[in-house]
């Protein structure tokens, strides 16, 4: 039996929970968009039944779900995905950058509160650390020649 990487399993669960939260925004509408800090404009568009919030949020759901699959693959829970090493490194970096660079991003989303930025950035930093530590721990076993 192949050893499983707990860090990457936790990362996968976190990405999946994030995907489910975004999916909830699509199904439950404006109140969910507001609660999760998407801004009043997105909430109003969702309440009007406009396509934009659904499309943007659906893309995020697919990305987060895919990232969860990469973590499960790296943890050896599911079969190896293509470009696994590169994928895990890029995913780790995206989460970490989002976690620490929120100050630079804040002006692009003036409707979001400081609480939203601190909480969401802390969550992204946590998830990024889970991916990073898990990827580092499994690095030697993530190459294709070691996949068999």
Domain ranges for the chain, please list them. Answer: 6-140
Distance between CA atoms of 4 and 24, rounded to whole angstroms?
30
What is the pLDDT confidence band of residue 76, given thresholds at 50, 70 and 90? Answer: very high
C-alpha distances (whole Å) from 19 to each of 24, 53, 62, 65 are: 9, 15, 7, 6
Q: What is the pLDDT of residues 77-109, one digit of tens each?
A: 999 999 999 999 999 999 999 999 999 999 988
Q: What is the pLDDT of residues 25-67, one digit of tens each?
A: 999 999 999 998 888 899 999 999 999 999 999 999 999 999 9
Total Cβ atoms within 10 A of residue 124? 21
Using CA atoms in the order 12, 124, 127, 100, what is the torsion angle rounded to 10 degrees? 150
Cβ within 8 Å of residue 121, ≥6 positions away: 98, 99, 100, 102
| CB 23, CB 61: distance < 8 Å | yes
CA angle 137, 86, 6 (to 5 degrees): 30
What is the pLDDT confidence band of residue 12, given thresholds at 50, 70 and 90? Answer: very high
Distance between CA atoms of 36 and 85, rounded to whole angstroms?
31
Total Cβ atoms within 10 A of residue 55? 11
């Amino acid at each position: 039996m192949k050893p499983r990487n707990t860090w990457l399993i936790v990362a996968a669960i976190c990405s999946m929970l994030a995907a489910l939260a975004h999916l909830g925004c699509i199904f439950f509408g404006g109140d969910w968009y507001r609660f999760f800090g998407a801004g009043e404009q997105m909430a109003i568009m969702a309440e009007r039944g406009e396509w934009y919030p659904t499309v943007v949020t659906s893309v995020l759901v697919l990305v987060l779900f895919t990232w969860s699959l990469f973590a499960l693959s790296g943890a050896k829970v599911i079969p190896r995905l293509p470009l696994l090493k590169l994928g895990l490194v890029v995913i780790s970096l995206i989460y970490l950058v989002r976690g620490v660079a929120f100050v630079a991003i804040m002006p692009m989303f003036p409707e979001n509160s400081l609480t939203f930025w601190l909480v969401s950035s802390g969550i992204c930093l946590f998830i990024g650390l889970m991916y990073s530590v898990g990827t580092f721990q499994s690095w030697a076993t993530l190459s294709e020649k070691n996949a068999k």
